Structure 1
């Protein structure tokens, strides 16, 4: 398929599925940024692409306004789901499901951007979380076997999940997946390693980690 054909098809694409592409490192090269616009893409499923390092360039991710589901599994060199930079996340108004399973290098789900580093050094009395990042329709967050995950997000914006119904973590032993100030519904159901928890989410994860390492 020629570059011209690739540029003509994306606007009609609704589902992208990549399976067992062991040599794939990047879905799109640098020359494709700003050219491919997937305005109708609703579902992305990527499994067993063990050398995949990045999924979408940030410039492309900002156009995925109709995306409803993201599922990633067994992509061991993927370090962060760059679909969710803080600027791109604000465009994902229809996203309902995030599923990330068995990705050994993933450290965060929402990737911070370079200009956020300056905000970390704000003085006392200044609001580090003055910017809010809302996942308006997200209902399900499922994370399984992510041994290096540190947090959902380590940047300076507040995360807001007004529609979140279920968060399930399996073998994710970070003790700060959500941070103070992040907003989740009071009726949110949290399931950790098969058990439902009513206590603080981060405390529950820490307790599970202590049991595993005892």
Structure 2
């Protein structure tokens, strides 16, 4: 009898492997996403939250997973968590449909959550950036343009800022930061930039004076430029 039990103990895993499909993390993540989507449709947001958390745990760089997790956090009014997940969706999506949708969702967040961060560290960083971008060793009023190649409003802003560079010359530093370039992630994190396009206006001391999210229009941009240029006089 003992011999039979030992045989079953050693043989059973092999027999099970013949009839059960192998575990696949990506497949499990897809199943979690499917279940979560169904829960979302039924308004069962807490159940969906659990499913989407499981999905991104199994596929940490899934743009769709982070998008859905961000959306359900927002449904539950946990906006700060939602923001972080939507940022990850943009980071991992590299211009995909899901990444663009995450950017749209981010635009809906409360204004205080999408305001760029400012403080001693960002002031020091802005001073370094403005001097490195040309125009001598003195820090200057600076505009940091956070953009992506797939973002249409970003192209409109680029045209306006190019005109400003010609008009103001060395009095103004314009720095473009591609959010899809991994080399820029530290800068993006330091300013805590969320949706794009985001323009950050800094005075000659590196202090954030104002910011804009989306396309504010040429008149609004020129008005903000005049504010920061006055600080450099």
Fold agreement, TM-score > 0.5: no
Bigger strand share = 1
Bigger helix share = 2
Answer with 1 or 2: which has the greater Rg: 2
Q: Tell me which interval the TM-score lies in, with the shorter structure as reference length.
A: 0.3 to 0.5
**TM-score of the superposed pair, with normalisation by structure 2:** 0.34
**Of the two structures, which has the highest relative contact order with CA contacts closer than 8 Å and spacing of 6 or more?**
2
**TM-score of the superposed pair, with normalisation by structure 1:** 0.36
